[in-house]
Amino acid sequence: MSRSLFPPTTPQDCHARGWDVPDFVYVSGDAYVDHPSFGSAVIVRTLERAGYRVAVLAQPDWHTADDFRRFGRPYLGFLVSSGVIDSMVNHYTAAKKRRSEDVYTPGGRAGKRPDRAVIVYCNRIREAYGDVPIVIGGVEASLRRFAHYDYWDDRVRASILQDSGADLLLYGMGERTILAAADWIARGAQAWELPSLRGACFMIDRPPRGCLQVPSFEACVSDKRAYAEAFLVQYREQDPIRGRPIAQAHGRRYLVQNVPDMPLTREELDATHALPYQRTWHPDYDAAGGVPAIEEVQFSIAHTRGCFGSCSFCAITFHQGRIVSSRSHESVLEEARHITQMPGFKGYIHDVGGPTANFRQPACAEQLRRGACAGRQCLFPTPCPHLRVDHSDYIALLRELRALPGVKKVFIRSGLRYDYIMADRSDAFLREIIEHHVSGQLKVAPEHVSPRVLACMGKPGRDVYDAFVQKYEHLNQRLGKKQYLVPYLMSSHPGSDLNAAIELAEYLRDTGHQPEQVQDFYPTPGTLSTCMFYTGLDPRTMKPVYVPRTAHEKALQRALLQYRRPQNHALVREALRAAGREDLIGFSRHCLVPPEGARPAPYRRERQKEASASHATRSKGARQAGTPVLKASPRAKGRPGGKRPSR
């Protein structure tokens, strides 16, 4: 594919377009993939459409400032992002072990970006050009905009805006904010205009009038309760309608966060997806075999933004917000038609989703007038009486996609919120996905069964999941299908002690499920769960929360979820004895593991044979449907880039 179809990545590309220097240089920790699932492509194409000249500096050599001089000093400034995900999450597992690959790098090669990429890139830019304007954005900047707990340093760090020395931080989804920021820089970057930039953060000597002041960076470092208080204000004010500006002192200066920007309208979201993406990696990466991350999204379609599910461990609330916006049918269908003409397309659209696939409109009519409720979640602990539950538009969209020439099957791999499905008085949507959009198994995420853990997670009770399982099995029988549920589970989340982990293990014993992958809770910046992890408090109530902290306790909880594995038996026995549950050690049907050195009783061996036969039957059924049983997504394997279906 001709490189002229892509944004320039070399000075020669710029000269071929007749540019002396670009207006902006976009610096990214990811290789450049020209696809709407990659934030760098969206921002670069949005600026191009507005008439700006943008060059891409992808994965520069950060060891010196030389690579940052590649295009010369840009006419307006630098735009900096670590990439699609936080650079520390990209580099390290939940156990803080270095990852061996990077799916956002050509050939999957690790080590092409630094730790804390935004800070490092900004420092090199300052070294190269001094006071050139720098705007930072993307997930790493967005979720670290306030004083925040950093899991890898195990301490509270200052706002990334202060540590990077950038001039402006843009948070959230950035099409509108980047254009406002570009115009502000082009007109001379007047400081008095800063409070009018929605979705922006800046540093100033004195906060503007009307700002809510939260405990300072220094207070958050020294007092965990102050940290929780600051986080709760930040969490509740993330609303573009009722939200207020927030100020947080950092020494003698203040970080100011302006009100979040409004979600894009349907017309604006359609226009974003209609930009001239080439839907593949830049030709610079052909020799390395391309960029592996494209495989997850190449034949997939994102039809929504925002999520009112508000899981405590998810940063979407803090980044995209709770107000859902969606694309028009025609926009989605046009993208699908384009996909059917792409090389390698075999008739299967892999996903029609988003943060939560089955949300296509705001939770209620009031959200667009008054904003999302500050002290009430839409689905937790029970669905709000004002919640609008309607799958009809999504069903119609899926039917239109299935009817397109060249489309054999349309799958849904993004999250399906099963409590929202259960709140629907009609079974039409669940019947539709069982009949047409499941390939042997449906992956869902109950995460846990313990009431106190689920309350910390903001997830529905076990009874809701059990009812969903029953309905799913019933509809499969009625439709003559043999399809299965694969539940995703999380260990060591705040609130989960050994007793809670044992409760989950007993649930697995009773249901016969044997998870091949278990996800340890990962304290990433910007989530309610991370605040609980650091402070030991639930900021919503200020009540203490149990937090498993040591690597050994986390190993015990993980082993309990995979208690059938012989290599885990010693850890499981240790956990059971520590919790006073020796009754679960032995050979009776309710036991989890045998005693040390004991051979299984004959009926125990028969149970194991039966379980193996049942597992083989499920595996065979799933293989016949075209999907390996219990195949974990890349995210579940501890590798970023994949989708962890169904919240």
Is the pLDDT at 548 greater than 90? The verdict is: yes
pLDDT category at 600 given cuts 50, 70, 90 is low
Is the pLDDT at 4 greater than 50? The verdict is: yes
Give the containing element (helix H, strand E) for 43: helix 39-49
CB proximity list for 357: less than 8 A, separation 6 or greater? 304, 351, 394, 412, 414, 415, 416
Average pLDDT over residues 22-34: 98
Collapsing DSSP states into helix, strand and coil, what is residue 635?
coil
Q: Between these two residues, 312 and 611, which has the higher pLDDT value?
A: 312
Is the pLDDT at 29 greater than 80? The verdict is: yes
**Mean pLDDT for the chain?**
92
Is the pLDDT at 626 greater than 90? The verdict is: no
Tokens of 207: 């906060």
Write the burial class of residue 417 (CB in 10 Å: 0-12 exposed, 13-18 middle, 19+ buried). Answer: buried
Contact present, 91 and 99 (Cβ < 8 Å):
yes
pLDDT of residue 163: 97
d(CA 183, CA 194) in angstroms, rounded, equals 12
d(CA 373, CA 322) in angstroms, rounded, equals 10
Q: Of the candidates 454, 558, 578, which has an alpha carbon nearest to the alpha carbon of residue 501?
A: 558
Average pLDDT over residues 78-104: 96
pLDDT of residue 443: 87
CB proximity list for 552: less than 8 A, separation 6 or greater? none
Counting residues of the chain whose pLDDT is more than 70, the rounded percentage is 92
Contact present, 398 and 436 (Cβ < 8 Å):
yes
> What are the residue ranges of helices labelled H in 495-579?
498-511, 528-535, 551-561, 569-578
Q: Of the candidates 360, 341, 342, 241, which has an alpha carbon nearest to the alpha carbon of residue 294?
A: 342
Tokens of 205: 């000597």
Write the burial class of residue 452 (CB in 10 Å: 0-12 exposed, 13-18 middle, 19+ buried). Answer: middle
Q: DSSP state, 474? A: H
Write the burial class of residue 369 (CB in 10 Å: 0-12 exposed, 13-18 middle, 19+ buried). Answer: exposed
Q: φ, ψ for residue 303 (rounded to 5)?
A: -110, -5
Give the tens place of pLDDT for each residue, 363-420.
999 998 999 999 889 999 999 999 999 999 999 999 999 999 999 999 998 889 999 9
pLDDT of residue 69: 98
Q: Of the candidates 338, 284, 294, which has an alpha carbon nearest to the alpha carbon of residue 60?
A: 284
d(CA 533, CA 518) in angstroms, rounded, equals 19
Contact present, 292 and 298 (Cβ < 8 Å):
no
Is the pLDDT at 623 greater than 80? The verdict is: no
Instruction: Give me the long-range contacts of 532-535 (CB less than 8 A, separation at least 24).
Output: 532/312, 532/456, 532/494, 532/495, 533/149, 533/151, 533/494, 534/149, 534/156, 534/224, 534/227, 535/224, 535/225, 535/227, 535/228
pLDDT of residue 608: 54
Separate counts of helices (H) and strands (E) for the chain: 24, 24
- Point out the least confidently predicted range of 515-524, 547-556, 622-631: 622-631
DSSP secondary structure of 556-611:
HHHHHHTTTSGGGHHHHHHHHHHTT-GGGBSSSTT-SBPPTTPPPPHHHHHHHHHH
Average pLDDT over residues 601-620: 48
Q: Between these two residues, 244 and 612, which has the higher pLDDT value?
A: 244
Q: Between these two residues, 605 and 399, which has the higher pLDDT value?
A: 399
pLDDT of residue 183: 97
Q: Rg for the chain (alpha carbons), in Å?
A: 25
pLDDT of residue 634: 34
* Three-state secondary structure of 289-318: CCCCCHHHHCCEEECEECCCCCCCCCCHHH
Give the tens place of pLDDT for each residue, 292-306.
999 989 999 999 999
Is the pLDDT at 619 greater than 90? The verdict is: no
pLDDT category at 622 given cuts 50, 70, 90 is very low
d(CA 306, CA 44) in angstroms, rounded, equals 22
Residue 16's CB: how many other CB atoms inside 10 A? 12
Is the pLDDT at 625 greater than 80? The verdict is: no
β-pair partners for 134: 78
pLDDT of residue 636: 35
C-alpha 168: how far from its chain's center? 24
Q: Of the candidates 381, 350, 380, 428, which has an alpha carbon nearest to the alpha carbon of residue 645?
A: 350
Contact present, 559 and 500 (Cβ < 8 Å):
no
Is the pLDDT at 542 greater than 60? The verdict is: yes
Q: Structural domains in the chain?
A: 3-200 (3.40.50.2300), 490-647 (no CATH)
Tokens of 164: 């990077």
pLDDT category at 332 given cuts 50, 70, 90 is very high
DSSP secondary structure of 391-437:
-HHHHHHHHHHHTSTT--EE---S---HHHHHH-S--HHHHHHHHHS
Average pLDDT over residues 28-56: 97
